[in-house]
Chains A and B, each alone.
Chain A
Amino acid sequence: MKLNELTAHQAYIGLRKKEFSSTEITKACLDQIKKVDKKIGAFVTVTDDLALEQAKIADEKIAQGEELKPLEGIPCAIKDNILIEGERCTCSSKILENYRATYNAGVIKKLKEQGAVFLGKTNMDEFAMGSSTEHSAFKKTKNPHDLTRVPGGSSGGSAAAVASNMCIYALGADTGSSVRQPAAFCGVVGMKPTYGRVSRYGLVAMASSLDQIGPITKDMEDTALVLREISGPDAKDSTCVQYSVPDYTEAIPWGIENIRVGVIKEYFEEGVDKEVSDLVKKAIKELKRLGAKISEVSLPHTMYALPCYYIIMPAEVSANLARYDGIRYGYSKVKAKNLLDVYLSSRAKGLGDEVRRRIMLGTFALSTGYYEAYYDKAQRVRTKIKREYDDIFRDFDVLIGPTAPTPAFKLGERIKDPLTMYMSDVLTVSANISGMPAISLPCGFVKRENKKLPVGLQIMGDHFKEEMVIRVASSYELRERAE
């Protein structure tokens, strides 16, 4: 096995036994980036100097016999909306093309204390708005399983980088689907923790009541490990809760005897690809064989999560993106004739179509005369959706369904019609609207044009019960391996 193909927990063992060095794994990843990223396009910036310097520090510690931290010396990729001090952070937008971060995000601070190695910043839909990574202002990322298809989005660069072994693991961020859907399309594991579990400090804000950073990994053990290391309180994010963080890796061997699994009826209805739902149903049968108690549940309001999301999210977007004014940082139309013109022209030129569309939509939903009918209404529907989930979690430990209604679609297929693109998120947004943790893990392949495309199984849990989600997902994964 090549070093760049390792998982983090495998790399940890090898580093500790001195079978290889951090510099060797880091170089293997950088070589792989050089070799395949020309056709995949996962990275916006490769921080090779930083990576090799961090690897060297880790190797010196190992040489001195210091105790190794679980993620120490292990190279990872970071979505380009998470700040690493001194490095470019573009959000794949022209308006931030030359922006350099002046501080570390909360999760980066935690990973740096761990001794992690940062390989670079990954491509995404501009400001995380999109489901295919095609809205990046710089490049289109391709799906490693079929280069004519999208990797999903918005964390498409991170998912493609993990799937093509250009890194050991990656961080993404999920506002409506952005970690789970690309993980499903690229055949890797992606988890959105409970809202409030991971600090959002230094994550470039899109929709602040929905955004959450999450790991994208090659297997469940790495998800548990990375999530454990990035979770926990941060004084700089007041929505990040004070709860202590369990050791998620301990949940892996527990098994799922008598665990109550609810199969969401609405997630298998119209619009969901038959082969996708068949694979998910097959996975559910395997959970049953492992001892889980399976029942079908109906959540009549869950399909309102998508329209609800397309009011709340743009409203928060319109407020958060007001900061890009062409004055303090970022792209500026400095030849403008007056102050107003600086704002108008910088934003017109610096922001792409999808971003401007959402800013305008949100501005409208918050404007005088429409606030009650749109924004306030959506916030009340949100309460209703959340209550429905809260009620169901009294009787169930996890809920299950597909991650996305289809496998990866073709580049260009959905980009022209915004609503068609929005439908890609129909099965994932309810976890953001109600705040619960949710994971996508591979559950098989469907064949399209002679290419095997991965399908994702989605498991959702009650608030702050990530260990239950990880426990069920791990049991499924280990069962697969035993076969």
Chain B
Amino acid sequence: MKLSKKQVEHIATLCRIKLSEKEKEKFKTELSSILDFVEQLNKVDVTGIEPTAQITGLKNVKRLDKVKPFAKPDKLIEQAPEKKDRFVKVKQVIE
């Protein structure tokens, strides 16, 4: 499948990656050739075959819904690029 520049721009917006004009062209060509490669899966007949998400067969592994406090919350806040006191600073969300 050949992707258009518009499709590449749409995908980049969905996954929140800014691309330069040059990068758009580059990824358009590269992603198209990878899609051509994976399309050989169309040769496989999957009629009546269920999808597999992971292979262990485990389903709905449960645990008690109990709060376990994390010992070092300050260490987590420390990692934030922008912070004020014990808060992570974020740009205005609602404009």
Contact = CB atoms under 8 A, between A and B. Distances in A.
Interface of A: 99-100, 102, 195-196, 208-209, 235, 238-239, 241, 301, 304, 307-308, 310-311, 318, 322, 325-332, 334, 336, 338-340, 342-345, 347-348, 351, 356-357, 359-361, 363-364, 367, 374, 376-384, 386, 418-419, 422, 434-435, 463
B69 interface: no
Interface of B: 3, 7-8, 11-12, 14-19, 27, 30-31, 33-35, 37-42, 44, 46, 49-56, 58, 61, 63, 72, 75-76, 79-82, 88, 90-93, 95
Interface class of chain B by DSSP: loop
8 contacts: A326-B81, A338-B95, A339-B90, A351-B17, A359-B17, A360-B12, A360-B31, A379-B51
Contacts of A361: 31, 34-35
A356 B14 CA distance: 12
B3 to A, nearest CB: 8
B34 A196 contact: no
A102 B79 contact: yes
A356 B17 contact: yes
Given A238-B63, A344-B16, 14 more contacts: A195-B55, A310-B34, A310-B38, A327-B80, A329-B79, A340-B16, A344-B17, A344-B18, A347-B17, A363-B11, A383-B51, A384-B46, A418-B33, A419-B37
A364 to B, nearest CB: 5
Nearest to B47: A380
B81 A241 contact: no
Given A195-B56, A336-B91, A359-B17, A304 B79 contact: no
Interface centre among B11, B38, B88, B95 (most CB of A within 10 A): B38
Contact of B44 (A304, A364, A376): A304
Nearest to B7: A364
Nearest to B79: A329
A478 B37 CA distance: 41
Contact of B55 (A102, A326, A347, A463): A463
Contacts of A336: 91
A336 B92 CA distance: 12
B88 A328 contact: yes
Contacts of A379: 51-53
A327 B90 contact: yes
Contact of A381 (B14, B41, B92, B93): B41
Contact of A311 (B38, B50, B75): B38
B92 A378 contact: no
Contacts of B58: 196, 238-239, 241
4 shortest A-B CB distances, which residue pairs? A379-B51, A435-B55, A332-B81, A329-B79
A330 B82 CA distance: 11
Interface centre among A331, A377, A434 (most CB of B within 10 A): A377
A380 B37 contact: no
Given A361-B34, A418-B30, A330 B91 contact: no
